[in-house]
Structure 1
Amino acid sequence: MLHDYFETYVRNYEYYKGGAWCYEDGCLYRGLITLYEATGDDRWLDHLIRLVGGQIDASGRLAGYEIEEFNIDNILAGRALVFLYRLTGETAWLSAATLLARQLETHPRTESDVYWHKLRYPHQIWLDGLYMALPFKMEYARATSRPDMADETLRQFLTALDLTYDQATGLYRHGYDESRQQSWADAESGLSPAHWGRSIGWLAMAFVDIIESLPFGPVRQELADRASALASRLLTLRTPDHRWLQVIDRPDEARNYPESSATAMFSYFLQKLARLTGSASYAHAGRTALQSLIEHELRPAPDGMIKLHNVCCVAGLGGFNGRYRDGTVEYYLSEEIRPDDIKGVGPLMMAYAETKRDTQSKRLIGNEDGDKVELSTTSER
């Protein structure tokens, strides 16, 4: 069962960066939260508390976290702190989250008032960063009764959507450089040149997580409309077996491949968007993508362990580790592929959790088709 795979993965999980607070661990925390919410199984909550608690010292400091780095990635795992505070009422969780909220008060911004991706990536907006920071900011605003913070979150998100949208393709570009100083940035638009699947996956997840936090009204409807437009475009870009490519709109590239983290993210996005808006076609597409991902990529590795294969380890823009990442198709296809990387496994948990939510809701209303959504893995055969 998928539960067994997830349980083994989490039980054996080692902090991604040796215990330092980071977004990679935050991907696992999001997976555990969604599994707990979907199933009510306390083991996922127990793992969450064990792992998050292990990164906070007796003084409430986050391990390895330095606000002066102004790294937007470090915000993501803070959603687990807000979740645990709202679940337990224990103020220690909120106090730790407040450290991250304080970073956002002074984090550098573009002239258009959107957060720089990082201090070392000045004047730049990346789709990754929208997911790393803005759902946290929205959830923190709700937990602390800060409508001004929630309003600012929405303004930033809408501005970033406008700046990163590529009208010619109906997709969003990975990066935008307001200064036009980066060689990857188009001199006219400031946009990076290619469409990396996972970067759009980060954005897609930000869409539905922010929408979920909003009351019904015009702003929620506007975001739902934009998310639905993206969803419709994504459906046209699926591979024949219902997955998505590393460079999402270039099936003509011989070295291109179905990438597992993006596929999991889009499965989560489509299913959750369906839950929030009632679109049955999106729900079906999301479940079909999840089943295809499991059938093709959740399989034994050479060590005999079941692992999720074809996960791009990392990709970015600009200088990193002595290399300049130029954002081209060729660049994205050159990045390392690593089985069981948490950036794939966390979204897989999230996508599966959405399927469980859908299955349970169908059972509650007496839909006899509900049982047909149960998924199997290669370990069950």
Structure 2
Amino acid sequence: MSTTITDYFDAYARDYRYYKGGAWCYEDGCLYRGLIALYEATGEQRWYDHLIRLVQGQVSEAGELAGYTLTEYNIDNVLPGRTPVYLSQKTGDPRYLIAAKRLERQLQSHPRVKAGPHWHKLRYPHQVWLDGLYMALPFKAELGRLTGNKDLIHQAISEMLTALDLMFDAPSGLYRHGYDEERLQPWADPKTGLSPAHWARAIGWMAMALVDLIEATEGEADQAKLIDKLQALLPVLGGLRTADGRWYQVIDQPALEGNYAESSATAMFAYSFLKAARLGLGSDFATVGLEALASLEKNALLPDASGRTVLQSICCVAGLGGFEGRFRDGSSAYYVSEILKDDDIKGVSPLMTAHAERHLRISQTQPVADVLAG
């Protein structure tokens, strides 16, 4: 299956069209994360070539970002900035640091809740969403490391820990998708400000943010607090798997009508478990990640009607509040009502990064059969 999945990724990147017509957006940034991970894990030039071809269509020689407007204050737009940080370090091309600095300027004035974390977007005032932790905080830490700006690194750690404290649901050991500090949103609990359900992909974004931030904050005093959060979360997640090793769209309600094994969250958790194991945070985590990847390949990476291999069972999008004439109430029933989209990048990207982690583990430790055997 390894050769097959590699060919799938290559074809996907070859045929990829910018998610929003070429405008700077987080979805394209997700693909870039996958290509970087594959290149760093394998050293194969094709992944780097795909990356450069696509990024140079969005970052001009002057470091301008296609279709980007700072004053939209959209936290999603920060995620793809991790790629210019990477390419600045790798190539020394000044355009990339200029591009990253544009996004740093957004964060300098991007609105925040009183406790510190950034609003999700200007049009979602006073709200923190788990997705936004992945969109902004690893970027802050990685740019801080590149430029020697310790304040950015410390901001990232502090904002992550604060957001997790705000959004933690103690009875379940999980985290809620959204938090409204003003308790103005109809989806927000009037006492806690939290949205009502546990959406798997929101927790997946957060888990990836945690493991990436842990890697980017090596040697920092509060890194241990991040590790504690991840080591508390992963065993809870491990206990919520489906019988075949995946995770449900509404992660803690297997009996919910319409609930299903969702591929993007499963790939995100596979990546998080495997990377946590590589970072030495728990030897048992690797088995969970490997089993999740194997289950995705068997049950969701399948031919479509045309015969092309696609990743199935991906929730296209989900959120909170008004969007395109619809109110998203954050209920469990809402999350299972959202449409599915084969090969959506939000599923393919974490599959790439999880596969890259598996490749690193196999190449650096032992044969995959031995790993799967425990």
Match of 1:66 in 2: 69
Match of 1:186 in 2: 189
1:278 Cα offset (Å): 4.5
Q: What is the SS of the residue equivalent to 2:279? A: helix
Moved more, 240-249 or 88-97: 88-97
TM-score, normalization by structure 2? 0.97
TM-score, normalization by structure 1? 0.95
Match of 1:341 in 2: 344
One-letter amino acid of the counterpart of residue 100, structure 2: A
1:56 Cα offset (Å): 1.8
Instruction: Report if aligned partners of 1:124, 1:175 keep a CA contact under 8 Å in 2.
Output: yes
Q: What is the SS of the residue equivalent to 1:76? A: helix
Q: C-alpha distance in 1, partners of 2:222/2:33?
A: 25
1:214 aligns with 2:217: yes
Q: What is the SS of the residue equivalent to 1:324? A: strand
Match of 2:89 in 1: 86
Over the matched positions of the two proteins, sequence identity in percent amounts to 56
What 5-or-longer segments of structure 2 have no aligned partner?
none
Match of 1:379 in 2: none
Moved more, 91-100 or 12-21: 91-100
1:168 aligns with 2:171: yes
1:272 aligned to 270, 275, 293, which one?
275
User: Could you say if the C-alpha distance between residues 133 and 290 of structure 1 is closer, same or farther in structure 2, counting changes exceeding 3 Å?
Assistant: same
Match of 2:253 in 1: 250
1:110 aligns with 2:143: no
One-letter amino acid of the counterpart of residue 358, structure 1: R
Q: C-alpha distance in 2, partners of 1:59/1:40?
A: 29
Spell out, residue by residue over 1:32-87, the C-alpha distance to the aligned partner (whole angstroms, 9 max, x if none).
01001110111101111110111123432111100010000000001011001111
Q: C-alpha distance in 1, partners of 2:98/2:236?
A: 41
Q: C-alpha distance in 2, partners of 1:173/1:113?
A: 18
1:373 Cα offset (Å): 5.8
Match of 1:31 in 2: 34
Q: C-alpha distance in 2, partners of 1:343/1:160?
A: 22
1:89 Cα offset (Å): 1.6
1:134 aligns with 2:154: no
Match of 1:331 in 2: 334
1:333 Cα offset (Å): 0.6
User: Could you say if the C-alpha distance between residues 278 and 70 of structure 1 is closer, same or farther in structure 2, counting changes exceeding 3 Å?
Assistant: closer
Match of 1:100 in 2: 103
What 5-or-longer segments of structure 1 have no aligned partner?
375-381
1:296 aligns with 2:299: yes
1:48 aligned to 43, 51, 54, which one?
51
Q: C-alpha distance in 2, partners of 1:371/1:88?
A: 38
Q: What is the SS of the residue equivalent to 1:221? A: helix
Instruction: Report if aligned partners of 2:79, 2:136 keep a CA contact under 8 Å in 1.
Output: yes
Match of 1:11 in 2: 14
Q: What is the SS of the residue equivalent to 1:176? A: strand
Aligned positions, number: 369
Q: What is the SS of the residue equivalent to 2:128? A: strand
Instruction: Report if aligned partners of 1:239, 1:245 keep a CA contact under 8 Å in 2.
Output: yes
Instruction: Report if aligned partners of 1:355, 1:373 keep a CA contact under 8 Å in 2.
Output: no
Instruction: Report if aligned partners of 2:62, 2:95 keep a CA contact under 8 Å in 1.
Output: no
Instruction: Report if aligned partners of 2:231, 2:281 keep a CA contact under 8 Å in 1.
Output: no
User: Could you say if the C-alpha distance between residues 217 and 101 of structure 1 is closer, same or farther in structure 2, counting changes exceeding 3 Å?
Assistant: closer
Please identify runs of 4+ aligned residues in structure 1 that moved more than 2 A.
57-60, 215-218, 369-374
1:229 Cα offset (Å): 0.8
One-letter amino acid of the counterpart of residue 18, structure 2: Y
Q: What is the SS of the residue equivalent to 2:19? A: coil
Q: What is the SS of the residue equivalent to 1:307? A: strand
1:280 Cα offset (Å): 2.0
One-letter amino acid of the counterpart of residue 160, structure 1: A
1:113 Cα offset (Å): 1.3
Match of 1:378 in 2: none
Q: C-alpha distance in 1, partners of 2:350/2:299?
A: 16
Q: C-alpha distance in 1, partners of 2:61/2:163?
A: 38
User: Could you say if the C-alpha distance between residues 164 and 278 of structure 1 is closer, same or farther in structure 2, counting changes exceeding 3 Å?
Assistant: closer
1:307 aligns with 2:310: yes
Q: What is the SS of the residue equivalent to 2:96? A: helix
Q: What is the SS of the residue equivalent to 1:77? A: helix
Q: C-alpha distance in 2, partners of 1:172/1:278?
A: 21
